[in-house]
Amino acid sequence: RRASDLLLVRRSDDHFLVDTDGPVQVRQIGVNSIGYRVPAWKPNEQTITFARDVGVSNSILYSAPVTPDGLGKQVPILDVSSDPAFLWSRDGTKLAIADTSRAVFYFGAPVLIYRELKILDSVGFSEVARIRDNILSYFWSPDSTKIAYVSILDGLGNLRWTLFDVETGERARLVDFIPSPDQMTMFQFFDQYAYSHSLWSPDSRFLVFAGTLSEQAVTASYGTHPGHTGLHVFVLDTGPTLAIEAITTGVLGFWSPI
């Protein structure tokens, strides 16, 4: 069986497994939980990650293999607060979990901000790194060595891209900007889009995003604002020499997988 034959669906607090190998079959898998966002498949395995509610404002993350009868042994990963967002690295060796969320207003609309990002290994789920910031969204690089995350800076609407090296723990401020409305929507639901809509180039060097650069920035956008009006798509070179370029007008951009 191929892992791509199976589709995991969450509807409210119900979870369904859709088997497309032959006649389509749909069955509930015995998970009832509403206090989190999106379940995830572990790359290259028929194993899912999900959360179960514990009280009103807490959950426990679990990992469990998918079997012909439903789920196998459910292994607890971590106690988290409500609405956690988690993403596997592409090689399946690490799991990043955004936790401790709160709602803030961004241009009059409520958005979730996470105060902690924990990175766990995939063997014993021990913590290998932790970030504390006002995190709106984050994205694993395709080579699974880095995380680029977006944080809210101030009351002026500025966001910031920051690059985190998982191995060294080093953080580099990249660029300050205000996103396009479409880009902001993608950031708000990043854990639904991250696996299929890549902001990272396949070589794990460039990021693409849409909006306008901040003219008050202390990052790569300082002094490089092209003087344009309207929304543009930018390509950000994360190094070794940091650089940014407006490539076209537009509201959203993604890289092809290869």
pTM of the predicted structure, to 2 decimals: 0.91
- What pLDDT is recorded for position 71? 87
Q: Bridge-partner residues for 99, per DSSP? A: 116
- What pLDDT is recorded for position 56? 77
pLDDT of residue 154 exceeding 60 = yes
- What pLDDT is recorded for position 3? 58
Question: Confidence band (pLDDT; 50, 70, 90) for 226?
Answer: low
Instruction: For residues 12 and 40, give the distance between their C-alpha atoms in angstroms, rounded to a whole number.
Output: 16
Q: Bridge-partner residues for 66, per DSSP? A: 71
Give tens-digit pLDDT for 78-107: 999 989 999 999 999 999 999 999 999 998
Q: What percent of the chain has pLDDT over 70?
A: 93
Instruction: For residues 79 and 76, give the distance between their C-alpha atoms in angstroms, rounded to a whole number.
Output: 8
| Candidate from 12-16, 26-30, 193-197, 214-218 with smallest mean pLDDT | 214-218
| Average pLDDT value for the chain | 90
Instruction: For residues 199 and 205, give the distance between their C-alpha atoms in angstroms, rounded to a whole number.
Output: 11
Q: What is the mean pLDDT of residues 243-252?
A: 94
The pair of structure tokens assigned to 186 is: 């993608």
Instruction: For residues 20 and 200, give the distance between their C-alpha atoms in angstroms, rounded to a whole number.
Output: 30
